[in-house]
Amino acid sequence: MTSRFRLAASLAAVFLTIQPAAGELIVDPVFAAWRAKVDPAVEEALGWLQRVQQQDGSFPEQYGDSTGIPALAGMAFLSKGHLPTEGPYANALNRCIDFILANQKPDGLFEKGNAGSGPMYAHNIATLFLAEVSGMVDPTRQTRIDAALPKALALILRAQAVKKDEQNQGGWRYHPGSQDSDTSCSGWALMALRSAKLNGAGVPDQAIRDAVGYLHRHQDEKDGRFGYSNRDDHAVSLTGMGLLCLELCGEHGSERTTLAADWVLRHFRELAGGQFEFYGNYYNAQAMFQIGGRHWQEYADWMYTSYLPKQEPGGSWQSREAGRVYGTTMMVLAFTVPWRQLPIYQRDETVDEELEN
């Protein structure tokens, strides 16, 4: 891995961006057995995404003209080590970046097209993507990102600060002025803030603590599962989200993360054919990789065995809720966890000691 340092006038802070070297891979012992099958499947999927992308950077199908889908596609390209300055997907990546930057409102909101229930969901994902790709782009785009990110982050912080009751405090929902919260939208917002903070942005520590506190209130203290608006609704698709967020916010090895990881290990097979299957698989893969050991090994074997055969001719995966573009981006992001190319998802390598002993 290489690092680049640059000065950016963003929230009066410096962004530190870790730039992965294209193609660099620290071989995960679990992934080693799957790499020969996963690599070509992922490249086929990325090729499909590049072919269906429209000239303005948006994508066809449901939600493809929102800022969220190009952001997910951009992260999918990055997740395999591809860069916006060189390589076969540079143009596709830059179109994703340009589409998002072209659709920022004066208040900082990245909004365009069909964003589903509300614009904050897509905005959070778009902010996360720009925080991750910042420092990897050409100087002209870097200047535009430096101007856009502070406004985007400020909007997320304002939305969190809206007066809410105790149960919803610290979280986010679909609109900047929402007075309630849900864990799904909040997970993306927290990761956007965490990514920016890791890159040196002046995100207040209290904002991270408040978001983590919100997640704590939505975790069952006995069995570890996370719910959507309480402690058990949609737990099969959301517990991986809660686990990943706690892992990324410094709670690795805690009682909360251990309980959540064990819950996922007992219930992840219930995802197959269920509602929000691709979303749940994405978060489970990211979270179980963070945990490592037997949790990652069992999950990875199931994921690759289950979903490699479901790739359609041409390279896509079909999500029943949101179509092929969404399904393909989420599957690529899950499959490429062992490549460790997105800075926010880096992992403490001691997690694999269990497999070695």
What CATH number has the domain bearing residue 282? 1.50.10.20
Residue 21, domain member (yes or no):
no
CA 279, distance to chain mean position in Å, is: 10
Residue 155, domain member (yes or no):
yes
Mean pLDDT, the chain, integer: 89
Continuous segment of H or E residues that includes residue 17 = strand 16-19
- Sign, CA torsion 80/303/297/233: positive
The pLDDT of residue 340: 87
Residue 3, domain member (yes or no):
no
| Tally of domains within the chain | 1
Q: Would the pLDDT of 23 be above 70?
A: no
Q: Would the pLDDT of 171 be above 90?
A: yes
Closest CA to 243 of 193, 201, 207, 190: 190
Residue 109, domain member (yes or no):
yes
Residue 354, domain member (yes or no):
no
The pLDDT of residue 115: 77
Determine the average pLDDT of the residues in 39-65: 96
Q: Which domain holds residue 75?
A: 27-344
Residue 236, CB half-sphere, CA atoms under 13 Å: how many? 13
Q: What is the pLDDT of residues 82-120, one digit of tens each?
A: 999 999 999 999 999 999 999 999 999 999 987 777 899
The pLDDT of residue 304: 98
What string of H, E and C letters represents the secondary structure of 108-125?
Answer: CCECCCCCCCCHHHHHHH
**CA 103, CA 106: separation in Å to the nearest integer?**
10
Residue 22, domain member (yes or no):
no
The pLDDT of residue 347: 67
Q: Are 331 and 45 in contact (CB under 8 A)?
A: yes
Q: What is the pLDDT of residues 313-335, one digit of tens each?
A: 999 999 998 999 999 999 999 99
**CA 332, CA 316: separation in Å to the nearest integer?**
10
Alpha helical stretches, state H, 4-105: 35-52, 68-79, 90-102
The whole-model pTM stands at 0.90
Tokens 């076969």 locate to 88
Residue 171, CB half-sphere, CA atoms under 13 Å: how many? 28
Bigger pLDDT: 94 or 5? Answer: 94
The pLDDT of residue 234: 93
**CA 69, CA 125: separation in Å to the nearest integer?**
8
CA distances from 29 to 64, 335, 352, 356 (A): 36, 15, 8, 9
Q: Would the pLDDT of 80 be above 70?
A: yes
Rg, Å, the chain Cα set:
19
The torsion defined by the Cα of 24, 27, 32 and 36, in degrees rounded to 10, comes to 0
